[in-house]
Chains A and B, each alone.
Chain A
Amino acid sequence: ELKVEQNPLFLSMQEGKNYTIYCNYSTTSDRLYWYRQDPGKSLESLFVLLSNGAVKQEGRLMASLDTKARLSTLHITAAVHDLSATYFCAVYLYGGSQGNLIFGKGTKLSVKP
């Protein structure tokens, strides 16, 4: 059974600092997705990673995928308050359960001045 683990689950950081959120998964996959959710809102797609070594960047966020290590990272550079949100990773498992898409529990990020 595919398990997707995010850590940390809660992250409080100061503006201007860097940090990384980790998404580990337990079986082979080469598709991984990152989402952002603001309070009271739906999920917004951030990155789609479709191959080993894929790296995508948007503003202060950069996501990467290492399929051999079964690990994706979401790196935050020089955090600003606007990045405060909950971030979810989701892994696609071919022929798996739950419609082949397994979500992590989310990382709640709070960026403080």
Chain B
Amino acid sequence: GAGVSQSPSNKVTEKGKDVELRCDPISGHTALYWYRQSLGQGLEFLIYFQGNSAPDKSGLPSDRFSAERTGGSVSTLTIQRTQQEDSAVYLCASSLQGLYGYTFGSGTRLTVV
């Protein structure tokens, strides 16, 4: 597609449930990032994928969070046993080595009730 696609756009889940968030980057983009943004706050780095290299998972806040990127394209961020503090907007971005900037998806707004 022409842009970075994220789904779902909104997700309401009960505390303790698992959720999966999907990111479909721009075709050919080798770099993919996940960020979290709480209301009125800046961007919190979660995880970074670059080509076939091992991902940089240094930003994942706990072992309840995991992400994978299949075939160097689509990525899924999984949050297990969700907590209320996980409520935020989860943003995905992709890039071709940063040479033309980073394109963000429209995000997934996660609400844990």
Contacts and interface: CB of A to CB of B under 8 A. Distances in A.
Interface of A: 31, 33, 35, 41-45, 48, 50, 88, 90, 92, 97-101, 103-106
B56 A33 contact: no
B107 A101 contact: no
Contacts of A103: 42-43, 45
A45 B33 CA distance: 15
A97 to B, nearest CB: 6
B101 A45 contact: yes
Contact of A33 (B33, B48, B101): B101
Interface residues of B, number: 22
B50 interface: yes
Nearest to A46: B101
Given A99-B33, A99-B50, A105 B100 contact: no
B42 A100 contact: no
Contacts of A48: 100-101
Contact of A45 (B91, B103, B105, B107): B103
B70 interface: no
Contacts of B105: 42
List 7 A-B pairs, minimum CB-CB distance, nearest first: A99-B48, A98-B45, A48-B101, A43-B104, A105-B42, A45-B101, A42-B104
B43 to A, nearest CB: 5
Given A97-B56, A98-B56, A104 B102 contact: no
